[in-house]
Amino acid sequence: MRVVVTGLGTISPLGIGTKHNWTQLLNHKSGIISTQHLGPQWQDIPCKVVGKVPSGSKNDNKWDVSDHFNRSDSNRLSLFTQYALVAAEEAIKDAKIDLDSIDKTTVGVNVGSGIGSFQDTYDNAVAFQQGYKKVQPFFIPKILTNMAGGNISIKYQFQGPNHAVATACATGLHAIGDSYNFIKNGYAKMMISGSSEASIHPLALSGFARAKSVVTSFNDEPEKASRPFDKDRGGFVLGEGTGVLVVESLDHALDRGVKEEDIYAEMVGYGLSGDGHHITAPPEDGKGAALSMRMALKHANITPKQVDYINAHATSTKIGDKAENNAIRSIFPQSVSVSSTKSSIGHLLGAAGSVESIFTILAVKNNQLPPTLNLQHLEPDFQFDYVPQTKSKTVNYALNNSFGFGGVNSSIIFKKFQL
């Protein structure tokens, strides 16, 4: 059974909407900003940059909750769920789904989150210090990581698999890969799939800073702070956003009238593995990542030479970028192009894989490679084309990687679609 992608919805620090994000990305724009104006709680944190969804009118591709939800809904829905609902609406419209005629028992939802609602957890913990009655009635439903997908399922009355993945920074890619398997194994004909994260909070940034995971240089030049593969990289930039894909069997897409030119890409391989090594650090040789990529290649039934582009997990950390580079080098020829779009948006944690899958799919569809920004001084033993500038290249196969704390690895291969 062939599985294809027919709809995309995107929210990132570059703004709202897939077309807007793609244009900004190819134009070398950065969504990374300074925390200096965000309030006193941010001031003592040594990292002073984040990738934040821009505030403003939706007419300017920015976020204002009142553009999307009334006060009652905005009060009961946490921000990561709000993002997911808006991105899902875009993806469903993009896929041209007739909600009145489709069999909703065959449509599932798999939208996960790595953390859920950090803001609501913090607010209610603080409020509880004043007593039990200060805790919000919607506290628990707002923080659960499956509530983004749950609310999508409820809004559209989709009755297929209602699933959610929470595998740290591999969440988005696992959600998409698991949805691919749900369709291949007959559990659904269509899946609304992806991930959402909204953890831009001083406590979250403090936690990552204490773990020495985030960048502390380039505080005065935030757009230069995320620099994957560059020798001056010093940690990731905490980001937020959402990516939602409509994934369905090819037969289902054709039966409902989807045209060949409206199919973005075909999913052909999914791999996943564990490092079995450390809670936060990958092994230097990247053997767990390599296992994941080899599994994806095996299921896609292609050779490494056939892969034209890799959208790397590369978060801009010293050890992580090196481990992934070593993993790629152990498998792929030097002709493969590799870039990290985290250079433009930061690390979206659980949402990283779904947003980056969208960028990978658009690279396949449009034969355009998004750049790795800030690549000024390449490490001597990094020897691939890391795409420092947007470039045109025929992309028949592309691979997207996502890895996460706990030693989780995931890889998906997308193919240029042809009937």
Q: In the prediction, which pLDDT does 304 show?
A: 98
Cα(401)–Cα(173) distance, integer angstroms: 8
What tens digit of pLDDT does each residue of 179-191 get? 999 999 999 999 9
Instruction: Decide if 57 contacts 67 (C-beta within 8 A).
Output: yes
Q: Work out the percent of the chain whose per-residue pLDDT is above 90.
A: 99
Strand-pair category, 337-339 with 309-311: parallel
Instruction: State both tokens at 416.
Output: 């240029």
> Both ends of the chain: CA-CA distance in Å?
13
Instruction: State both tokens at 80.
Output: 């990561």
Catalytic status, residue 299: no
Instruction: State both tokens at 230.
Output: 């560059």
Catalytic status, residue 377: no
Instruction: State both tokens at 387.
Output: 């795409």
Residue 260 makes CB contacts below 8 A (sequence gap 6+) with: 417, 418, 419
Q: In the prediction, which pLDDT does 81 show?
A: 98
| pTM score of the predicted model | 0.97
Instruction: State both tokens at 351.
Output: 């949402």
Instruction: Decide if 351 contacts 172 (C-beta within 8 A).
Output: yes
Name the E strands within 43-114.
Answer: 49-51, 107-112
Neighbour tally for 163: CB within 10 Å: 22
Phi, psi dihedrals of residue 112, rounded to the nearest 5°: -110, 180
158 falls in which pLDDT band (50, 70, 90)?
Answer: very high
The catalytically annotated residue of 201, 252, 299, 313 is 313
Q: In the prediction, which pLDDT does 248 show?
A: 98
Q: In the prediction, which pLDDT does 107 show?
A: 98
Q: 345 pLDDT exceeds 90?
A: yes
Averaged pLDDT, 271-292: 97
Instruction: State both tokens at 27.
Output: 């134009």
Q: 306 pLDDT exceeds 90?
A: yes
362 falls in which pLDDT band (50, 70, 90)?
Answer: very high
Residue keyed to tokens 């659904």: 188
Averaged pLDDT, 329-356: 98
Averaged pLDDT, 208-234: 97
Residue 133 makes CB contacts below 8 A (sequence gap 6+) with: none
Q: 380 pLDDT exceeds 90?
A: no
* CA–CA–CA angle 407, 411, 412 (5° rounding): 155
Instruction: State both tokens at 274.
Output: 């564990």
Averaged pLDDT, 218-223: 97
DSSP line for 265-315: EEEEEEEEEE--S-SSPPPTT-HHHHHHHHHHHHHHT--GGG--EEE----
Q: 381 pLDDT exceeds 90?
A: no
Catalytic status, residue 347: yes
Q: In the prediction, which pLDDT does 120 show?
A: 97
Cα(8)–Cα(17) distance, integer angstroms: 9
What tens digit of pLDDT does each residue of 86-124 get? 999 999 999 999 999 999 999 999 999 999 999 999 999
- How confident is the prediction for the chain on average, in pLDDT? 97
The single-letter code of the amino acid at 207 is G
Residue keyed to tokens 């939800």: 69
**Complete domains list, the chain, with CATH:** 3-262 (3.40.47.10), 272-415 (3.40.47.10)
Q: 49 pLDDT exceeds 90?
A: yes
H helices of 301-387, in order, are 318-329, 342-345, 352-366
Residue 234 makes CB contacts below 8 A (sequence gap 6+) with: 215, 216, 217, 316, 317, 318
The catalytically annotated residue of 47, 169, 174, 201 is 169
Residue keyed to tokens 């706990």: 406
The sign of the CA dihedral 99, 116, 414, 26 is positive
Strand-pair category, 162-163 with 107-112: parallel
